Amino acid sequence: MSIDFSVNEGVATVRLNRPEALNAIDYPMRTRLQELWRHIGSTPEIRAVVVTGTGERAFSSGADLRRTPPPATSFAAQMFGGAGAEPEVGSLTVGLDFDTPVICAFNGLAYGGGLEIGLACDIRIAADTARFGLPEVTVGSMPGSGGTQRLPRLIGSANAMWMLLTGDSIDAQTALRIGLVSHVVPPEALAETANGMARRIADAAPLAVRAIKRAARDGLEMSLQAGLAHERQMWGLLRDTEDRKEGREAFVQKRPPVYRGR
């Protein structure tokens, strides 16, 4: 399988698995990723997700240009339909806007669509051997899965435009300095670090976790006042939940809480 998927005690792992091709993304991988995003988003038992790659060289080198032939129909035909039109596969990150937190663990280079998957995640950590880039401009194209929109929001316009317009790549320490990733660790510590974060998230109250992600994500598109009102609404929705009561009682009783997502 080009993508391995597993769930262990509420933590899902999505692993890109074409190491012989630097985990480059071909058509089957793209469609499988979109299926997995939809599945994860509709499965409340999954409380956290880790996305990573197989091997030490690459998280993903992006689209597999050798195995991605041009479509037989125009983009307009794909978008609007018509006789003989092929389905439009769409962005790699379609369906990745669910409320379950996602950690991207970059185990190696992340170029093009590989980096764009990470940009759509909530937490990004990297092995100190990782490199990052959006080189589409160097082959006459442009990012098509959120790169031009998410990268400036994450690292600021100046750094983003430099990377987008030149196709230059950066190393892990630079990515840490400009805020593209939050942690850089030795390769052998990457899986443990990512899984430890995911485990802490999965052990927290699931409704609270999802409400926090939604409030923070939606607030980026709002004014401060609108964001504060949105936050207050999320807080109000949590106020009378069983989990909030359990969390407060467990704190008083000095015991681990048992959250049930209700």
Residue 230, both tokens: 């949105």
Residue 194, both tokens: 């990512």
Q: Which residues are known catalytic residues?
A: 116, 136
Residue 35, both tokens: 């299926």
Query: To 10 degrees, the CA torsion angle through 20, 21, 23, 29?
Result: -110
